[in-house]
């Protein structure tokens, strides 16, 4: 399953043919609804941004005047499998609803 927004560049005949050849199901969502229907927008990116911002703020407060070089360490706990699965459930994609 490959979920796409309804932008015309995503639905070319070539894309559709390649998807069919490889057994990929294309699911397009209506325009201007991705913020509500795309699983990762709903439960991963927003919480990730908030969690990362909190971690970065805490690090900067405890290390005044220094630069953050270890970005992955700050992001490590912000994205979880639970968040990703929750995104698919909250949009009704899995289990299929």
Is 56 within 8 Å of 75 (Cβ atoms)? no
Does residue 16 share a domain with residue 53?
Answer: no
Does residue 3 share a domain with residue 43?
Answer: no
Does residue 84 share a domain with residue 52?
Answer: yes
The whole-number pLDDT of residue 18 equals 92
Domains contained in the chain, number: 2
Residue 67 φ/ψ region, left for φ over 0, alpha for ψ in the -120 to 50 degree band, beta for the rest: beta
Residues of the chain predicted below pLDDT 50? none
The whole-number pLDDT of residue 15 equals 86
Does residue 53 share a domain with residue 87?
Answer: yes
Is 88 within 8 Å of 43 (Cβ atoms)? no
Does residue 4 share a domain with residue 41?
Answer: no
Q: Please state the pTM of the whole predicted model.
A: 0.50
Find, among 67, 62, 3, the residue nearest to 36 by Cα. 3
β-pair partners for 3: 27
Does residue 41 share a domain with residue 88?
Answer: yes
Q: Which domain holds residue 20?
A: 1-31
The whole-number pLDDT of residue 62 equals 92
């Amino acid at each position: 399953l490959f979920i796409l927004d309804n932008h015309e560049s995503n639905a070319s005949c070539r894309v559709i043919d390649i998807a069919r050849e490889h057994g990929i199901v294309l699911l397009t969502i209506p325009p201007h609804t991705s913020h509500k229907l795309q699983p990762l927008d709903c439960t991963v990116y927003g919480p990730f941004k908030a969690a990362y911002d909190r971690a970065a703020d805490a690090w900067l407060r405890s290390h005044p005047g220094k630069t953050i070089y270890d970005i992955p360490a700050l992001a490590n706990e912000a994205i979880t499998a639970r968040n990703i699965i929750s995104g698919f459930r909250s949009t009704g994609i899995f289990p299929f609803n």
